[in-house]
Chain A
Amino acid sequence: MDIIRLENLTKLYKGLRAVDNLNISVREGVIFGFLGPNGAGKTTTIKMMAGILRPTQGRIFINGMDLEKEPSRVKGCSGFIPDRPFLYEKLTGMEFLRFLSGLYGLDDSGSTNNRLIELLEIFDLFNWRNELIESYSHGMKQRLVMCGALVHDPKVLIVDEPMVGLDPRGARLVKDIFRGQAEKGRTIFMSTHSLETAQEVCHEIAIIQEGRVIAQGTVDELREDAGVDGNLENAFLKLTEGKGIRHEKPLSSS
């Protein structure tokens, strides 16, 4: 069953087509990688899926529900992790998670509290739970955002650049959690610039360029499409024709 369906999704910014007639379907229990050069429309698509930007055209279905028609129900079964973790600096980690559990309609019971503690332990934040968020490092804030996105056990996790600011241990932890979630039947829609991460954890990948999907499939299928051997990086560069990293001539040394 397709748990995520984007139909003719389009976003215009002052005449610029940031996302252009995008059609993507994602099955349940899949880690879906969303790749593309800078400015390709990844973050815009993800923000539309999270319900914080409105599409100019097209529809977004999550768990069979139309985001435009039933925003609260769709948001209630999905979790969003942005690339920059802006949080309420004057709350403690635990207070922040309690706040989120209230927003997502969880009760104040012992089981909710146990879940929050479990998440804090998984993300290695338990000892920091009573500290104000303003004293957290960037990586800790990123891990706290992930904790928050999992508070209500969402069916779909929408993630923008999950590895930014994480140390190798944190990055490994996140990959393991994503795999664990997928095994439980949860779906992860993830944009990333880390091709290694995408190759390692994603079951399926879509490459987007200038707002349009230019290739979609498994890593092997993408390599086949591109007609290259080796890793995903070669396929990505071939498919996007090096856009965004093209140098007309070598940088001169002063």
Chain B
Amino acid sequence: MKNLFLLLSPRALGLKNSVLSAASDIRKKAVIIGATALAFWAVLFVLSARMLVYFQSVEVIGDLLAHHLLSMVLLTFFALLVFSNILTALSNLYLSADLELCHSSPSRLEEVFLSRCVFTIIDSSWMAAVFGLPVMIAYAWVYRPGPGFYIALAQTGLALAFIASAIGILITMIMVNLFPAHRTRDILMLLTMFIVIAVYILLRFLRPERLVDPDAFFTAMQYMSALKSTDSAYIPTHWATEILWGKLSETGNGSRLFETALLWSTAAAMAVINLWAAGRIYLKGFSKSQEAKGRRAGSFILDAFIKLARKPLGGDLASIVEKDIRIFFRDNTQWSQLLLLGALVVVYVYNFSVLPLEKSPIRLEFLQNVLAFLNMGLAGFVLSAVSVRFVYPSISVEGGAFWILKSSPLTMGRLIWGKYILAVIPMLILGEMLIILTNYFLHVSLFMMILSSVTMFFAVFGLIAMGIGFGAVYPRFKYENISQVSTGFGGLVYMISSILFMAAIILLEAGPVRILFTANMRGVKVTALQGLWIILAFLSIFLLIWFTVHRSIKMGMKALEEYERF
């Protein structure tokens, strides 16, 4: 095993070198990303803590709810870890560029395999560890356990990470032996996407909020049994839940040695099984993954759709649009995200349809219209989230082939406008759909329906321009998977800017809307001063949108013209 540490060293050295040699702007980016992550972390902690404090205030069933939540959190993180491990194992064990070097070296197969397992565990577990921690600390803050809880947390977390990685790696090895590695990635991506969407929709439609509303259940017995029906006693997260709850709960008995032994013996057994399986199928699978992939392309529907999209454009822009549409629908990592988007929209609209407005003590008409107004901001946020995934990477999607455009007669201005046109139309449809459907469920007034639809219509132009502009300022032409592009610094800057943009529009509109709404409710006329305010506010909104579009496109054009990292 002497080569194991040697095989691990390039990653460690690379990390050390990039930290030491990082330029000041990279350090600044790291500080901004770190601060945002910390803010997210803090929000997660506060929300978790508030929920647990609320649970504690519920008599009889408070602790049952907290126990149930802990079990659900651990199960969710564990499931996410397994999926994350499947995908990272595929990259680390089969697709990484340096694998040829490792396999052609005199290192033993077990050494190469173990080094890649270590990378897989680190790559897939760090995020779950970071974002799971605030929930766990919230438990500790509310229940005030002894130091034994923290030791238990560390050891159960580690054991769960090992087990999830072992399961993920084993599944990956089996899949690669059944399909070629490149095809496996596509299949796994799709499978993961379907499962996530199914679980997401299922969870939402089960309406978990009813769990804290005993009125929704027919009998107290039914409610109590729903809470007590916990997860299976044979899954590792159940053992971890019992270990942690034992430390948290005052009534928790003993050190839960049996569960601890079960957890670690399972981790050890999984490690042995994986090593045994690797000896038999890893190299065979790696060899298969090196085979060339081949696939014939062609679709009558896609061709017809492209023909339609080309018509109004003509020339170079039509070529860009055609290329982008073809690549989008042929690349599973791109179009499959549409499924996620569909689920997001369905659940978003569904949430509005089940809002218990009639239970509110506030006047219904007022509440409906206030919600519709705030909904503009929320829909803007949803659109930004969709844009950061689909619009922001539209320049980076050119990848290593960007030289083709740069050396062609196409100006960067026309490229940016082409991408803008392609993105703005579907986003307008999505934005209007979100606003109109949710307003329909809220039964808002005609005035609010028109105001929010028109506002959203114009705001989309600004949001998309920022997406394209920031995408051009922070292009990432080297990526393994296009979804990685949005997770960088530029994606974060775009999200923050688009939230500020929507907030500015809402703030500017709030005053005039209040005036108009109150005047309408009371049946009085708007004064001249109020009229002036309204005109100035709407003028400012149009100016803000115009300025955002103009600046974003110009900034993107300049960045692409000056881009030289070929």
Interface-lining segment among A45-53, A114-122, A185-193, A217-225: A45-53
Per-residue CB contact flags for chain A residues 135-151 toward chain B (1 = under 8 Å, else 0) read: 10100000000001000
Chain A residues with Cβ below 8 Å from B292 are 135, 137
By CB atoms of chain A within 10 A, which of B298, B318, B401, B408 has the most? B408
The residue of chain B having its C-beta at the shortest distance from the C-beta of A53 within the complex is B564
Residue of B at shortest CB range from A86? B400
Taken residue by residue from 86 to 103, chain A's Cβ proximity to chain B (1 for < 8 Å, 0 otherwise) reads as: 111011100100111111
Q: Are B331 and A80 in contact (CB under 8 A)?
A: no
Expressed in whole angstroms, the minimum distance between the Cβ of A101 and any Cβ of chain B is 8
Select which of A52, A88, A99, A134 is within 8 A of B407 by beta carbon: A52
A54 to chain B, nearest CB (A): 7
State whether A99 touches B323 (Cβ < 8 A). Answer: yes
> CA separation between A135 and B182, bound complex, in Å?
12
A72 & B293 in contact (Cβ 8 Å cutoff):
no
Q: Which residues of B, 176-229, contact A by the 8 Å Cβ criterion?
A: none
Q: Which residues of B511-566 have CB atoms within 8 Å of chain A's CB atoms? A: 562, 564, 566
Band of interface residues on A: 35 or more
B406→A51 contact, CB < 8 A:
yes
B409 engages A76 (CB within 8 Å):
yes
B54: interface (CB < 8 Å): no
Task: Say whether, besides A52-B406, A102-B316, A91 and B411 are in contact (CB < 8 Å).
Answer: no
Partner of A90, one of B327, B405, B411: B327
Q: Known interface pairs A72-B409, A102-B318. Does A135 touch B330 (Cβ–Cβ under 8 Å)?
A: no
Interface centre among B293, B326, B399, B403 (most CB of A within 10 A): B403
Report the separation of the CA atoms of residues A47 and B403 in the bound assembly, to the nearest whole angstrom: 9
Question: Is A103 within 8 A of B408, CB to CB?
Answer: yes
Knowing A76-B409, A105-B409, the reply to whether A135 touches B326 (Cβ < 8 A) is no
Contact A98 B562 (CB under 8 A): no
A134 and B183 CA atoms in complex are apart in Å by 13
* Interfacial residues of chain B within 275-294, with CB under 8 A of chain A in the complex: 292-294
Interface size on B, residues (CB 8 A): 33
**Contact A88 to B293, CB < 8 A, known contacts A53-B564, A99-B322:** no
Say whether B363 faces chain A, with CB atoms less than 8 Å apart: no
CA distance A99 to B292 in the complex (A): 25
Q: Is A132 an interface residue (CB 8 A)?
A: yes
Nearest residue in B to A132 (C-beta to C-beta)? B297
User: Are the C-beta atoms of B326 and A95 separated by less than 8 Å?
Assistant: yes
Instruction: Compute the total of residue contacts between A and B using a CB distance below 8 Å.
Output: 100
CB-CB under 8 A from A92, the residues of chain B are: 297
Q: How far is the CB of A181 from chain B (nearest CB, A)?
A: 18
B76 beta carbon closer than 8 Å to chain A: no
A130 and B298 contacting across the interface, CB-CB below 8 Å: yes
Q: Given A90-B331, A131-B294, A131-B297, are A71 and B411 also a contact pair (CB < 8 Å)?
A: yes
Q: Does B361 contact A (CB under 8 A)?
A: no
Q: Which residue in chain B gives the minimum CB-CB distance to A82? A: B403
Establish whether residues A105 and B407, one from each chain, have CB atoms under 8 Å apart when the complex forms: no
Q: How far is the CA of A53 from the CA of B562 in the complex (A)?
A: 8
**CB atoms of A54 and B403 under 8 A apart:** no
Q: Quick check: B564 and A80 within 8 Å, CB to CB?
A: no
In angstroms, Cα B298 to Cα A132, docked, is 10
For B391-412 the 0/1 string (1 means CB < 8 A from A) is 0000000011101111111110
B406 / chain A contacts, CB cutoff of 8 Å: 50-52
Q: How far is the CB of A229 from chain B (nearest CB, A)?
A: 40
Let me know if A51 and B330 touch, CB within 8 A. Answer: no
User: Is B295 on the interface with A (CB-CB < 8 A)?
Assistant: yes
Chain B residue nearest to A134 in the complex (CB): B293
From A73, A103, A135, B405 is in contact (CB under 8 Å) with A103
* Contact status B407-A80, CB under 8 Å: yes
How far apart sit A233 and B47, CA to CA, in the bound complex (Å)?
73
CB neighbours of B564 from chain A (8 A) = 52-54
Nearest A residue to B316, CB-CB: A103
Asked whether any CB of chain B lies closer than 8 Å to the CB of A75, the reply is yes
B322, B327, B407, most chain A CB atoms within 10 A? B407
Instruction: Report the minimal beta-carbon distance from B517 to chain A, rounded to whole angstroms.
Output: 51
CB of B294 within 8 A of CB of A54, answer no
Q: Report the 3 A-B pairs with minimum CB-CB distance, sorted nearest first.
A: A102-B319, A86-B400, A135-B294
Given contacts A80-B403, A88-B323, 14 further A-B contacts (CB under 8 A): A51-B406, A52-B406, A75-B407, A80-B407, A86-B400, A87-B404, A91-B327, A92-B297, A95-B326, A100-B404, A102-B320, A130-B297, A132-B295, A135-B294
> Residues of B with Cβ closer than 8 Å to A?
292-298, 315-316, 318-320, 322-323, 326-327, 330-331, 399-401, 403-411, 562, 564, 566
